[in-house]
């Protein structure tokens, strides 16, 4: 850790040390959409001691004996990273988004009269995000990811012709949609006071907030793997070719 540059970004640190992601979640540091910010400046802006945050990252980076090691995604093949993103994060979203939407429908029917000031804008934000994410996952799986796979496999001319240009073009769209999802997550966290259910919340209400917070954590990790590792590596690979 002593070899880290003071200018290292939050995203670079999260890519280099996967344990950073969990620590950043604990301290409310944006390491996915805001991954381009300098780590030290982000810490100071939040009133945190950068050395203390790094110390916590070091502690969590050395789990107890027998714990499963974190994958080294910055050096793994792009195909393997894409497989992980799809099988872990895409499958999670395709399962959780409709599940949470169904729970939300029940909560709206039972609690809108008392908690409509929160639930109605929350539902609007969540459902707009879900609609965008549904299309986002489809575009990654049918357009961007096949193009990145083709770059790694050396079938670039055919892929470029099919996808109308550089890998930078679909990546630019995905980055904008990541920013939109990040704004939606921030809005939902603010509306719910950090996913804190009201005292009279039923079990479904509480489970919904719990599920939203879990989805937030997963989406942060999902966006981090793409913004800070997959996309830069794909652009660099295309430039070399």
Give yes or no: residues 98 and 20 share one domain. Answer: no
The answer to whether the Cα torsion of 87, 89, 90, 96 is positive or negative is: positive
Give yes or no: residues 152 and 180 share one domain. Answer: yes
> Does residue 223 form part of some domain?
yes
Give yes or no: residues 202 and 98 share one domain. Answer: yes
H or E, element range at 147: helix 145-153
User: How many structural domains are present in the chain?
Assistant: 2
Q: How many helices (H) and strands (E) does the chain have?
A: 11, 0
The C-alpha atoms of residue 117 and residue 234 are separated, in whole angstroms, by 44
What digits encode the pLDDT tens for the residues 134-168?
A: 999 999 999 999 999 999 988 765 544 555 578 99
What digits encode the pLDDT tens for the residues 52-100?
A: 888 888 887 665 544 556 678 999 999 999 999 999 999 999 999 999 9
More confident residue, 171 or 62: 171
Residue 130 has pLDDT above 60, yes or no: yes
> Does residue 14 form part of some domain?
yes
Give yes or no: residues 123 and 215 share one domain. Answer: yes
Give which of 221, 225, 218 is closest to 21, Cα–Cα.
Answer: 221
State residue 163's pLDDT score: 52
The C-alpha atoms of residue 226 and residue 229 are separated, in whole angstroms, by 6
Neighbours of 172 (CB within 10 A): 12
Give, in degrees to the nearest 5, the angle at Cα 112 between 208 and 115: 75
Give yes or no: residues 51 and 89 share one domain. Answer: no
Q: Would you give the distance in Å from CA 140 to the centre of its chain?
A: 14
State residue 2's pLDDT score: 45
State residue 52's pLDDT score: 86
State residue 3's pLDDT score: 54
> Does residue 69 form part of some domain?
no
> Does residue 39 form part of some domain?
yes
Give yes or no: residues 32 and 127 share one domain. Answer: no
> Does residue 197 form part of some domain?
yes
Which of 47-51, 140-144, 153-157, 194-198 shows the lowest per-residue confidence on average (mean pLDDT)? 153-157
Give yes or no: residues 100 and 189 share one domain. Answer: yes
Give yes or no: residues 136 and 206 share one domain. Answer: yes
Contacts 24+ apart (CB under 8 A), 193-199: 198/115
Give yes or no: residues 134 and 181 share one domain. Answer: yes
User: What is the domain range of residue 46?
Assistant: 10-61
């Amino acid at each position: 850790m002593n070899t880290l540059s003071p200018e290292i970004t939050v995203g670079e640190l999260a890519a280099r040390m996967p344990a950073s992601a969990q620590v950043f979640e604990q301290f409310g540091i944006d390491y996915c959409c805001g991954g381009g910010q300098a780590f030290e400046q982000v810490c100071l802006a939040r009133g945190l001691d950068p050395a203390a945050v790094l110390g916590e990252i070091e502690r969590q980076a050395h789990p107890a004996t027998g714990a499963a090691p974190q994958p080294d995604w910055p050096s793994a093949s792009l195909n393997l990273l894409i497989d992980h993103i799809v099988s872990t994060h895409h499958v999670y979203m395709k399962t959780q988004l409709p599940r949470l939407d169904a729970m939300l429908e029940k909560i709206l029917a039972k609690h809108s009269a008392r908690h409509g000031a929160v639930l109605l804008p929350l539902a609007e934000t969540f459902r707009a995000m879900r609609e965008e994410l549904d299309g986002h996952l489809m575009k990654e799986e049918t357009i961007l990811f096949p193009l990145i796979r083709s770059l790694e496999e050396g079938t670039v001319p055919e892929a470029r012709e099919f996808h109308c240009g550089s890998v930078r073009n679909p990546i630019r769209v995905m980055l904008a949609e990541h920013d939109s999802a990040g704004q939606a997550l921030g809005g939902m966290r603010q509306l719910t006071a950090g996913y804190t259910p009201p005292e009279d919340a039923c079990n479904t209400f509480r489970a919904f907030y719990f599920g939203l917070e879990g989805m937030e954590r997963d989406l942060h990790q999902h966006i981090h793997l793409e913004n800070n590792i997959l996309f830069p590596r794909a652009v660099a690979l295309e430039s070399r070719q």
